[in-house]
Structure formats: C-alpha cells, structure tokens
C-alpha cells in the first residue's frame, strides 16, 4: 500500500523542499496544497506530486484529513512575513487554521508535523530552549507560540504524535521566488546579500554586523521533518545549527566563495522587534527526533552559492 502525505504550503520555500524529499521516498504519494499567495508554481516543476490550489483550512480538505486520507500532514502554510502587523489576519491564518487541522487529524488519528519558529523566543537570552524565554517580539512570533500552545492542549487526547519544529534562520535552494513575490523581504539574508553582490552593490548590514543568528541549511531542515515521521512522542523541537554566527561572518564567507570583496555599508536598524542573538538548544531535538544538523555554515553556503551561480531555482531534487 502506498502512503499518501499532505504538505500544506507546499509551493513555498520549505514546503517545496519537504515535498521534493517525500516524492523521492519509496511508496509515497504527495498532495501539495497552497493558496499561492506567497508560494510559487516553479518550485514544483520537478516535484512529482499532486497539486491543489486552496486554503489549508478548506472544508473539503479538512474532511479528507478527518476521513484518514493521509498517513501524515506536514503543515507549512503560514504568513511568514514578520513585518506584517495585522494581528487578526496573522492569528487567523497561522493559528486558527492550524487548530482546524488538529481537530480534523484527531478524528482520523493522523500524525501532524508543523512549522513553528524561533520567533517565539524574541530577544530572550541565547541559547534558546523550548519552554524557556518564550517572549515573542511581534505578532508573527506570537502566532507561532499560540500554535505550540494549541498543539500542547491536544497532546493527551490526540491519537497520533504531534511535532512542532521551531525553525531558526533557514537558507538554501527554493527561496529565489521571494525576489518577485515580496521584494526579497522574507528571503534569507544570505540570498539577499548574494543578490546585492551580483548587482555590483556593496553588502549592507545593520550596525555593526555583530548581531548573531543561528543559520540552518535547508537540507538539515528537511531531514528534521523526515525524522519527525518516526518521533515516539509529541513535542516541540528546535531546528537550527546549534551555533550562532555573526552577520559579518556571512559577508566574509560570501566574499570568499565569490572571490570578491567590497567594503560593508552599515546602517541603523529600523526594527524595534529585531532579534539580536538566536542560538538553538538542540537537547529536545536529539531526544525526540534523534536528529542533529550535519551542515556547517561554510559547507551549506558553498553548495548554495554554487547552485545560485549555476542558475538553479526551486528546491533541491535529491535528499
């Protein structure tokens, strides 16, 4: 018997990479659902899957989930632009829709793996550990924390395992469509700085480039999602590299790979809610998922930049 797996937001960055990996999994059929508000059809050109245009809380889709049509649900659909301040819209799209999916999956006993975010930690001191320092700085981070709290209320009565994955700063193939969709606002800073350099512009960083983030390569993110298929119990897990690096580090690695150095322009940070230092504590990720990252920032950026230089767009095709 073939397994049928649902990926919501499957035309987006992380969703399309998950769909690509699952489509290469033996005995697996993949249904991608996306409203295409931020996802892009070109991400799915080389992904062998069924595609449906609808909201993730579409009544017909929820009925399918409740009826047991899927072996698992990967819920990636969300508003991911952290600069959106419409509180009602953010909670409706991110939190309310997720609650509807959990209600349907409880009926069928379907495993749900969903995208949370390191935005739940706000500017709490690093390293960031699940259950500690959950003080989001914006409505996006709050909507993800609210999702985690909704999931926790289902743990005891949900017949199947629920896994939340708090993504840190994800980078890698599959995000180039963001150039056209939102003017690069939600693309990784690695892609943004690469595009600046290719346009002959010097790198631009908030003063003075010593902010620290946990950058995690898309291959590691996908592997964490696949590991969640076999997680023995419900919970929330960080998905990061476990090591914080500065923005200046990114510029240096990019310069080395492009063999081209320019003086960095530093400017004031206009965002009061900006996270200054994120770093994933991976204790629970190791225990619950049996997962740990394999890609260093240097290795991940090297592969990514090589693919960008070759004109690659869309997700990685081989996992």
Catalytic residues: 140, 178
How far is residue 88's CA from residue 109's CA, in Å, rounded to a whole number?
A: 30
Q: b/e map of 148-182 (b: 16 or more CB within 10 Å)? A: bebbeebeeebebbbbbbbbbbbbbbbbbbbeebe
Distances (CA, A) of 63 to 8, 100, 112: 15, 11, 15
User: Do 177 and 125 meet the contact criterion of CB atoms below 8 Å apart?
Assistant: no
In total, the chain counts a number of residues equal to 319
User: Do 20 and 86 meet the contact criterion of CB atoms below 8 Å apart?
Assistant: no
How far is residue 157's CA from residue 89's CA, in Å, rounded to a whole number?
A: 28
User: Which H or E run includes 102?
Assistant: helix 97-108
Q: What DSSP string describes 156-182?
A: TT-SS-EEEEEE-EEESTT-TTHHHHS
How far is residue 6's CA from residue 112's CA, in Å, rounded to a whole number?
A: 10
- Token pair in block for residue 48: 């062998």
User: Do 273 and 186 meet the contact criterion of CB atoms below 8 Å apart?
Assistant: no
Distances (CA, A) of 13 to 39, 64, 312: 7, 25, 14
């Amino acid at each position: 018997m073939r397994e049928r797996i649902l990926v919501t937001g499957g035309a987006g960055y992380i969703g399309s990479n998950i769909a690509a990996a699952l489509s290469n999994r033996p005995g697996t059929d993949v249904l991608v659902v996306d409203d295409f508000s931020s996802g892009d059809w070109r991400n799915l050109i080389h992904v062998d899957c069924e595609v449906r245009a609808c909201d993730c809380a579409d009544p017909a889709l929820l009925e399918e989930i409740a009826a047991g049509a899927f072996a698992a649900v990967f819920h990636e659909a969300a508003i991911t632009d952290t600069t959106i301040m419409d509180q009602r819209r953010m909670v409706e799209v991110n939190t309310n829709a997720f609650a509807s999916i959990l209600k349907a999956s409880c009926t069928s006993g379907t495993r749900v793996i969903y995208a949370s975010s390191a935005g739940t930690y706000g500017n709490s001191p690093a390293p960031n550990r699940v259950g500690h320092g959950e003080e989001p700085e914006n409505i996006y981070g709050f909507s993800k924390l609210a999702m985690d709290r909704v999931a926790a209320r289902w743990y005891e009565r949900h017949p199947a395992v629920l896994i939340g994955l708090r993504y840190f700063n994800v980078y890698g193939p599959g995000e180039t469509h963001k150039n056209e969709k939102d003017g690069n606002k939600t693309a990784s800073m690695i892609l943004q700085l690469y595009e600046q350099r290719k346009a002959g512009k010097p790198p631009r960083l908030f003063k003075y480039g010593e902010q620290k983030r946990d950058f995690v390569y898309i291959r590691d993110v996908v592997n964490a999602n696949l590991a969640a298929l076999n997680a023995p119990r419900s919970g929330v897990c960080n998905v990061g590299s476990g090591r914080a690096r500065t923005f200046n580090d990114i510029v240096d690695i990019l310069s080395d790979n492009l063999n081209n150095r320019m003086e960095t322009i530093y400017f004031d940070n206009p965002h009061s809610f900006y996270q200054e230092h994120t770093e994933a504590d991976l204790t629970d990720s190791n225990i619950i998922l049996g997962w740990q990252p394999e890609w260093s920032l240097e290795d991940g950026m090297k592969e990514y930049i090589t693919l960008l230089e070759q004109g690659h767009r869309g997700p990685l095709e081989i996992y």
